[in-house]
Chains A and B, each alone.
Chain A
């Protein structure tokens, strides 16, 4: 099962390597990992997309909680949540393909953010599956470069991951 785990951790040097080290040391897999500081500059928020059985995911959240610098952990997939990923794609856009590429970008509600005589750079946001679909929908031989951020996730409504008062 695919799970999306969110965590808050101290915004300190080395905290990221503890999380990454935990995954490699215990043989858990990471599909994607994103991290950046939050509005509280002492905290970073990380989103990890991983796969595993229920037992493995339970161990992952427990082991993450055990890291001293990890403040809060939530398995977003346990409830209603939203996830988004940003992708930048540079494509060859010449001749007939130039119009077709613009049309596909519009259909997928993407934006062309850089233009040259021969290329477009397209920005696309959405769930990972939408980004995959876009790449399948266009002529693959025209893709020059792709870069994806990995998923960021947030709970719906009142599901909030924040520093708890203890």
Chain B
């Protein structure tokens, strides 16, 4: 049977078992919306801004193991989506974005709502396509899903001109697809695997450092088993939290710019570092020269060969899918007579426990003013560590990462690579849709929340009972913190004057708003909010404007240059 390009596009989404499409209609995608209207398998979530459509698809993907899907129109629809696409690209999130384009005969004529979508998005997608023939739509969408999900995942964009969405052709969805120039390596070299295990078991000061790759590869189970079997300390990047249970005694906290003293010191001073699905980012290992000043052997699992030896030289590269490589390593370890020499690493554990004893996440509680850390601690208690927590970007993000203890993967959803303010609320929408009935908290600040606050309207339309936890300190807190430390207390444009009344604002959107000003009210407010299972509750916590995030490794410094509150 002949179908239009638009009908084919929607059929393809059905074939891929897409549950939700996050989008916003416009001229160039009208036929595609028409095709959506005429079916009920794929549900459409109408956002209020295209950036939010992409963040919502992203949150959906991060909290499941599925591909997020967004649909936007040409021109401004695409340019608005770019921030979301770049966010997903930096964190390797599987996503397919379908965009409308002006009709093929208009391309290049500066037509109404025309932009060079493939050109604009090229540096922030895994791959993109401009479909020039209706016969190519089905195979292109099949390729898009395959590319998005396989290898190192990432966003893939399919740009469909309006005339192509109207043209007709015979429809058949390809069962499989192969791309001759694309062959991701999933299994590690066996010799390297043996070498890695040998190195690990010989280590006197071993350290396991895990990242977002563990989450993306669904390797938490294998990781946990291996770490326990080895008996080594384990840390995680911001992106990897939940990959290994944070409440376990072998977990030494997050590392990096705001990591714990024990995680940073152990990573700096270990003799064998085992990096699992992590990429030695500047916010994680800090200054490369400083990092390299201590000799250590590095073993690195990554599915992307380009991630190996990019910032630091790796001794044993294990290119492959994290879950796959860890499974093979486990089998090798179990079959081997050689085990961890517990006595040999005991002094190392003693040293780590000494660092741990510095209790680097301690903060001074107050009875007068709400400490932001306290709010996150209470959130953790009240939700028993089981909530999905999204965040925006800034101090609140770091406090959420430090004080909420994630024991499961895919519960902590944040923009780590790009650091996109405005991510939290729309991401929470995607999470809530993927997990109806589950507690979803968006930890945010009064700055970030205003970057996508229009989505409160989407939340109303689709009955998404997200709990917005705004740590409102009236400042762009992380900017203010850097200005205090490195810019002589000159608070250039970091104070937010004329903030809205968030309670009234929430109410105007049809939600519940609560203002919390005293530490004694924190717990009850959170309890009340989470008891309202069907309502979005916006909690405006008036927090201490002078509070800073500690520990801190200043930009450009090394992991052992970590500062604690008492050092300032």
Interface residues of A (CB under 8 A from B): 9-10, 13-14, 17-18, 21, 25, 55, 58-59, 62-63, 65-66, 68-71, 163, 166
Contact = CB atoms under 8 A, between A and B. Distances in A.
B127 A66 contact: no
Interface in B272-315: 304-306, 308-310, 313
Q: Is the interface of B mostly helix, strand, loop or mixed?
A: loop
B305 A65 contact: yes
A9 B180 CA distance: 10
A14 B130 CA distance: 10
Given A59-B306, A68-B127, A18 B122 contact: yes
Contacts of B180: 71, 163, 166
19 contacts: A18-B122, A21-B123, A25-B123, A55-B309, A58-B309, A59-B306, A62-B308, A63-B306, A65-B305, A66-B304, A66-B305, A66-B306, A68-B127, A68-B179, A68-B181, A68-B182, A70-B181, A71-B181, A166-B183
B118 interface: yes
Contacts of B308: 62
Interface string B146-179: 0100000000000000000000000000000001
A163 B179 CA distance: 13
A17 B181 contact: no
A43 to B, nearest CB: 10
B78 to A, nearest CB: 16
A133 B195 CA distance: 51
A55 B310 CA distance: 8
Interface string B170-203: 0000000001111100000000000000000000
A59 B310 CA distance: 7
A128 B284 CA distance: 44
B500 interface: no
A63 B305 CA distance: 9
B119 interface: yes
Contacts of B122: 17-18, 21
A10 B309 contact: no
Given A59-B306, A62-B306, A66-B306, A9 B181 contact: yes
A62 B319 CA distance: 12
Nearest to B156: A68
Nearest to A64: B306
A69 B179 CA distance: 9
Contacts of A163: 180
A164 to B, nearest CB: 9
A17 B126 CA distance: 14
Contact of B126 (A10, A65, A68): A68
A14 B127 CA distance: 11
Nearest to B132: A13
B119 A17 contact: yes
A70 B181 CA distance: 6
Interface string B313-338: 10000000000000000000000000
Contacts of B126: 68
Given A63-B306, A66-B304, A14 B118 contact: yes
